[in-house]
Every structure is written in C-alpha cells, then in structure tokens.
Structure 1
C-alpha cells in the first residue's frame, strides 16, 4: 500500500494520464511536423502514444498497473526518448524542436507515480541521457549550455512540483476520509454504549420493579419480616440483584460467574451450597444467561439449609440444575417467557429439583 492509499493513487494516475495525452497532442505534434526530424522521431511519438493507450486499460478502470507493464513501459519510454533526441535536427537540443524532453517526464509520472524512488531515478536517467546526447552532438557554447540548463530546470521543477502537489492533495483527502471514518466509528461506539446503558437501566428497572413493592410493603408493615414467605421473597430479590450486578462484570466465563453470584447470596444466608461445573465454556448470549440463572435464583431462595447446583456444558446444550431441601417454584418465576430455555421443576423424595436447559443449536 502506498503512502497516499490505493484510491488516491488511482485518481492521481487518471489525472496524469489525461494531462499526458493532452500534452502529447497539443505540444508534440506541431514541433514534430514543423521541424525537420529523422525517421526515428515519428516512431518515438507512436511508441509514447501506445504506452499511454496500454496504461489506459488499467488506469481508466482505476486498477493498479501490473509490474510488467510498468517495467516494459518505462523501458519503452526511455528508449523512445533516446531515439527521438537522436532524430533532432542539428542544434535542436532543448529548443522548440525537442518535443520529446518535456513529454517523456509525463509518461514516467503515469507509470511510476506510486513508486517515487524509481520515478526519481527514471527522471534522472532521462535527463542524463538527453544531456549526454546534447554534449555528444557537438561542442555547445556557454549560451547553449545556459539555455539547456534553463529548460532542464524548468521542465523538471514543474513536473516534480505537480507530483508533490497532487500527492499532497491525495494525502489530505486520505486523512479527511480517515477522520470521517474515525468519527463514524466513534459515533457507532457512542450509540452502542448508549444502547448498552439503556439495556442496563432496563434490566435494573425490571429487577427493581419487583424489589421496590417488597420494600414498600415491609416499610408499611404489610409484610411480616419474620414470616417464611417474606424471607423467601427477600432472598429472591437479593439473589436477582446480585446476579444482575454480576452480569455486567468483565470475566472469562460469564455464565459460571453469574451462577456463583447466586450461590454466594445463598451461602451468606447460611445455606450449605455445593457447585459443580463440567464441560468447556461455550458462548451464551446475555438474555439466555438471564433465563438460565433466573430459575437458579428462584430455587435457591426457597432452600432451607442446603442445596446442590450443577452446571453441565456440551457441544449441543447447556444445563443448570439445582436440588434443594425447599419447595419447587413455579415456571413463571423461572422467567422462561421466550421459550428458548426449557425449565423443569418437581419434588422427589422430599427434595425440590429444578433444571434449566438451553440447546445451542
């Protein structure tokens, strides 16, 4: 990838190709026909035109030039420059008849605009070859040398200035595009954070919706704190809130973390709780974890002295089971409204058993 990016180079190359075509027709045809040249001049003019046409097959559709095309095109352009300069009339170097000197630089720009070191080397070779042919054509006087120097400096400076200007514009456009993309990413992150915050508030509001009436009834004396049902409701509310807090923790295994949060609340109430986890972690969506751990909170809130919690994960399903010495809660209390998590409850041998199952596929 180039410094200015592939899209910027493609646009720059298209502009340079158009400029090259215009320069070759407008500034090359008249000197070629109005001054006597050798037969090699016409051949060189045609070769330069063919190079531009071949490049157009890739440049116009905004595709990068293949390396063989660049290498062969550069060689053909430099060879055409040598032949055209050799076909100049006597004393025609770096004058009006020398149409090829300024034109060749534009062809090299089209071919090597994304390879600046090679472009500078090719422009240097082109200038050196023309200067050498100029020196070998005869012994130039000081006036001719000065005139040649002005032409060389003017043409080279203009073409390099165009290169620097266009690349600066493309670089600025790339930076603006990157800034716009970064702003879009920032807006996306902000929207996601806002959505996450809204979901979090909704989750807390849903849990507090059951907790606030409980606290109000306790404060108003409607409920007796010593009653078994009241203690069970308080235990359920505490477990649900603790699980909700755990849901937002950044941990490697969120499901196990949330189940342990439910177990921790039960242990603080004095229950003897054992937890067994088997199977490798599997990704479980947040809403599914809520449905899996909701029945766990209900089952543990109804336990009296002891409970056993087991979590089993396989390639096809995730199961959470709770066995307590209390009573089984209702299916509605388990929070299985969406139906993605199957919940089974029952009493066996004086013990309450609950199992929540989610099929991964």
Structure 2
C-alpha cells in the first residue's frame, strides 16, 4: 500500500476513533452511571472498580484519539485486558437473575471499548468480541438454568449489542475501501499530470534543440545559395558533413528503440558511409539505460570525428556494468579538442594520419 493510501486509511481510523471515544464516554457516564448508583449489587466494590477502570481506559484512549494519533500497541493490549477484566468483574457483581438487564451495564459497553482499541485489527477485534460474548453467556448459564423469558432477554440483548458493533466494523471497512479507491484515483491523476508535464518538457526541449540546430544549418544553406561559399571547398564540405551528421543524430534521438545509444551511433555511421567513408563498427556489451544528455556528450566527439573522416574510420562501443565507452579512429586532420565537462570524459590522440577520440562515462 502506498503512502497516500495509508494516509487515507489512517484518516478514516482516526475519525472513527474520535466517534468511538465520544460514544464510550456518553455510554459510560450517561447510561451506565445511573444503574451503578441506583441498583443493588452483590459486590458493589467490584462494580465501582470496573467503572473506574473503564473511565481510565476512556481517558487514555481519548488522549491519543483526539490528537488523531494511532494507538500504541502497549495501550491496545493493556486496554483490552483491562476492559475484559472490568467487564467480568461488573458481571460477577450483578445478581444472576439480573444478568443481561439494566444492572449489567458492562455487557454492551465493553464491546464499544474493544472497538475503540482494536478498530484497525479486525481479526483480533472479532476474536475478542466473541470471547467476551462467550464469557458473558458462560457466566449466565453457570449461575443456573434460565427460563425462556430470561433466555429471550439475553438473546435480544446480545444480538442488539453485537450486531450494532459489527455494523461499525463493516462501515469502517467500507469507508477505508472507498478512501483507498479515492487515493488510487488521486495517484493515477498525479501520474497522468506528471507524464503530461514530462511530455511537455520533452517537446519544449526538442523544439529548442531543433531550433538551435537549424540556427547553424540555415546560415550554411544561405551561404551556399548566395554562392558566398564554394561547395567544392574542403572546409565547406566538412561543415556540411558535420551539420548533416548532427541532424541525423538529432532525428535518431526521437526514435523509440530498445538501444538508443547504438541507434544514434549507427545514424552517425550511416551518414559517413553515404559520403563514401569506409566505416568499421563494433559493439560490445549489453544495452545500458542512459539519459539523453549523457548520450549527447558521449556521441558529440564521434559526430565531429566522422564528419572530418576522409576515407576510413573505425568506431567501437564498449559497455560494462561500470562504464560506457565510445572510441573512433579516423583518417582526419586534427580535430579541435574540447575539455571534458560533466560526467563524460573525453580523450584525444594522434597516430600518424589517424585521429583517435574516446568518450567515457562511469556510473
């Protein structure tokens, strides 16, 4: 269960406990105090002690419930044992012939205390309620064989008390279920909003990338159209090759493929091969998920080297669990070196007529 759904469920339990604290206080002081003061008991001291214990449990439960805090486990265990002990004492204090009647105010009241203490532990709650009912019935039957009227009164009192208390359990469960459904709907809405925001950001980023790339292409095309630059010039041809490779890589970044890095490198190699460069391409290692900006930094020097290659080039992609490398060797003139920025390292080397570039990213 996610944190949002747990919060929604906890809110339901906190609200229901406030209601139960009020209910137990009203039942204890409003309905149970009068029989305690007016009726004759076999053991008045036991009845008074039972009343005092239940009043103490009410105070302890209200301290946590009114602050909307979950009840500690120690309070649940100790409170449940005290409630059962007080209910037993109050039942013993009543004459057998007056059981399940007004003097035995503790029978139905104890169940509400069990609800207050064990509301979020349904199985334990039902077990304790069943044990309390069985104990009260056992004490009622042990005192002597009751007549039909006494049995009917006991059954009616038991059914009315237990059915209402179990109804509270069912209502709480339904409220928790609806709260979880509402929380799930809110989570789904948040996920949709997050995806929409991510898609909007991605679209804006791609728009800026295309705009920046076109900002370098348009002046070149204008210079060629106005015959300011000569397409036969080697620098112009190299600039055209660089721009074409950059555009092809940019288009490849928008493709939905299992291995985006190799797909982008393949796109750059394809542009070089279309220019007549003999490119040897090798890939080693399994695909590694990389952010877009990391892939751009890894393939940036590759774009520059392949666009400057004349006849031959060799490209290799090496991937391990710890790092990703892209190396290119091309028969090109010296390529302007750029300093390593961010998490990607760049190395340059010259071997005769061949230029070597390598980019490396480590986790």
Q: What is the CA–CA distance in structure 2 between the aligned matches of 1:159 and 1:36, rounded to whole Å?
A: 28
Counterpart contact for 2:253–2:260, Cα < 8 Å: yes
CA-to-partner distance for each residue in 1:146-188, whole Å, 9 max, x for gaps?
Answer: 3333322222222222232233233323322332232122211
Counterpart contact for 1:341–1:356, Cα < 8 Å: no
Identify the match of residue 244 of structure 2 among 225, 230, 238.
238
SS of aligned partner of 1:187: helix
Identify the match of residue 150 of structure 1 among 156, 172, 176.
156
Q: Which residue of 1 aligns with 2:296?
A: 290
SS of aligned partner of 1:200: helix
Q: What is the CA–CA distance in structure 2 between the aligned matches of 1:120 and 1:89, rounded to whole Å?
A: 28
Q: Which residue of 2 aligns with 1:19?
A: 23
Gaps of 5+ in 1: none
Q: Which residue of 2 aligns with 1:273?
A: 279
Identify the match of residue 28 of structure 1 among 32, 42, 45.
32
Q: Which residue of 2 aligns with 1:109?
A: 115
Q: What is the CA–CA distance in structure 2 between the aligned matches of 1:83 and 1:317, rounded to whole Å?
A: 73
Q: Which residue of 2 aligns with 1:306?
A: 312
Alpha-carbon shift at residue 103 of structure 1 (Å): 0.8
Q: What is the CA–CA distance in structure 1 between the aligned matches of 2:18 and 2:129, rounded to whole Å?
A: 20
Q: What is the CA–CA distance in structure 1 between the aligned matches of 2:198 and 2:299, rounded to whole Å?
A: 25
Q: What is the CA–CA distance in structure 1 between the aligned matches of 2:125 and 2:69, rounded to whole Å?
A: 20
Q: Which residue of 2 aligns with 1:129?
A: 135
Q: What is the CA–CA distance in structure 2 between the aligned matches of 1:27 and 1:262, rounded to whole Å?
A: 86
Identify the match of residue 70 of structure 2 among 38, 63, 68.
63
Alpha-carbon shift at residue 241 of structure 1 (Å): 1.7
Counterpart contact for 1:343–1:357, Cα < 8 Å: yes
Counterpart contact for 1:14–1:62, Cα < 8 Å: no
Alpha-carbon shift at residue 100 of structure 1 (Å): 0.5
Counterpart contact for 2:315–2:328, Cα < 8 Å: yes
Q: What is the CA–CA distance in structure 1 between the aligned matches of 2:124 and 2:297, rounded to whole Å?
A: 65
Q: Which residue of 2 aligns with 1:208?
A: 214
RMSD: 3.8
- More off after superposition, 108-117 vs 230-239: 230-239
Counterpart contact for 2:100–2:107, Cα < 8 Å: yes
Alpha-carbon shift at residue 245 of structure 1 (Å): 2.7
Gaps of 5+ in 2: none
Alpha-carbon shift at residue 265 of structure 1 (Å): 1.8
Q: TM-score, normalised by structure 1?
A: 0.79
CA-to-partner distance for each residue in 1:258-305, whole Å, 9 max, x for gaps?
Answer: 333322321232212234667998776533432342332222222221
Q: Please give the residue correspondences for 1:70-109 in structure 2 after superposition, counting only pairs within 5 Å.
A: 70-89=76-95, 91-109=97-115
SS of aligned partner of 1:206: helix
Aligned residues: 356
Alpha-carbon shift at residue 256 of structure 1 (Å): 4.6
